[in-house]
Amino acid sequence: MAHIETRQIQVEMHPAHAVPAMVSVVAFGISLSVFLAISYALCILFYVLFPGTAEQHVVLSLFLPWLKVLTLPGFLLGLLASIVCGWYITLIFCPLYNYFTARGL
């Protein structure tokens, strides 16, 4: 009886020939929305802890000029706006990124 030897050959691809990774729209959207919501909540916390510096931090009023920052409805509306902005960026960025990486650009 003949002995048959089998070997496994590992093929390594050069990085230039690798298939580019696609970005998951859902994972990116959730991650970015949570990041923006946490950042917004930290900004509001900073306003509450250091009220004298609130006039120096006008970034929120640049992006959300209609927002009353230190009220509960304003806070909740700001959180909602953060989530909406995260999904807006996601729905534009991810398809563009996936389109261009699929074409090797």
Q: Which tokens go with 97?
A: 């990124």
**102 to 23, 60, 71, 92, 96: CA distances (angstroms):** 11, 36, 46, 16, 10
CA distance 8 to 80: 54
Q: Which DSSP symbol is given to 5? A: -
**71 to 32, 63, 94: CA distances (angstroms):** 24, 17, 34
pTM, full prediction: 0.72
First-residue to last-residue Cα distance in the chain: 55
The predicted pLDDT at position 6 comes to: 60
Query: Three-state DSSP class for 65?
Result: coil
The predicted pLDDT at position 37 comes to: 95
If the chain, 105 residues long, is cut into consecutive pieces of 10 residues, what is the mean pLDDT of each piece?
60 58 93 95 86 67 71 87 95 95 83
Burial class (CB in 10 A: 0-12, 13-18, 19+), 48: exposed
